[in-house]
Amino acid sequence: MALIGSRVPLVLMVAIFILPAFALTTEFIVGGEDGWTAGVDYAAWANGKKFFVGDVLVFNYAKGAHTVVKVNGTGFSACQTSPNSGVFTSGNDKITLLTPGNKWYICGVSNHCSYYNQKLKITVMPKMMMWAPAPAPEAGMEPEPAPTGSPCSY
Ligand SMILES: [Cu+2]
């Protein structure tokens, strides 16, 4: 009995550490209430949001009116849908962020990207960061010692 009992804390610990890994994934409705459409500022929408591996982007739009094309940085800047690593057309496209790094999505319909700026760029952070101890906020907040030898002109 003592043998079995000694295993319980380990099981509990594992459960405590693994369950949040699933519970903490976030589903982002791209554009919020506006959804995925022409004329929305997606840079503003993404601003301040933290995207982690495992999170899900949801693109909502009237099927046929828009598409979601996963492109590279060049395609994003130039609104070019080719080459791409995925075209989504369902109107309720759920894209799980599988890897860290920059991700670019544009609408492939007509001039929605080039004229209406219907494009989204995000940076996905590794999931590890969620478990790492938060960096001490003081580290970056401390005012740097004033350079005594070289006065700053601005
Ligand atoms: Cu569109």
| Tens digit of each residue's pLDDT (9 = 90 or more) over 132-147 | 555 555 544 545 555 5
Name residue 125's beta-bridge partners.
Answer: 52
Query: How many angstroms does the Cα of residue 131 sit away from the middle of ligand 1?
Result: 37
How many angstroms separate the alpha carbon of residue 69 from the centre of ligand 1? 10
Interval between CA 107 and ligand 1 midpoint (Å): 5
Q: What is the pLDDT of residues 88-104, one digit of tens each?
A: 999 999 999 999 999 99
Q: Where are the domains positioned within the chain? A: 22-127
Residue pLDDT, tens place only, 52-66: 999 999 999 999 999
The average pLDDT across 75-96 equals 98
Judged against a pLDDT cut of 90, whether residue 153 lies above it is answered with no
**Is residue 20's pLDDT more than 80?**
no
The answer for 100, left when phi > 0, alpha when psi is -120 to 50, beta otherwise, is beta
Q: Are β-strands 87-88 and 119-125 bridged in parallel, bridged antiparallel, or unpaired? A: unpaired
**92 CA → ligand 1 middle, Å:** 13
pTM: 0.71
Cα-to-centroid distance, 26 and ligand 1 (Å): 24
Per CATH, domain 22-127 is 3.50.30.40: no
Q: From the CA of 39, how far away is ligand 1's center (Å)? A: 9
- Report the SS3 class of residue 121: strand
For the chain, percent helix, then strand, then coil, each to nearest 5? 30, 25, 50
Structural tokens at position 105 = 């999505």
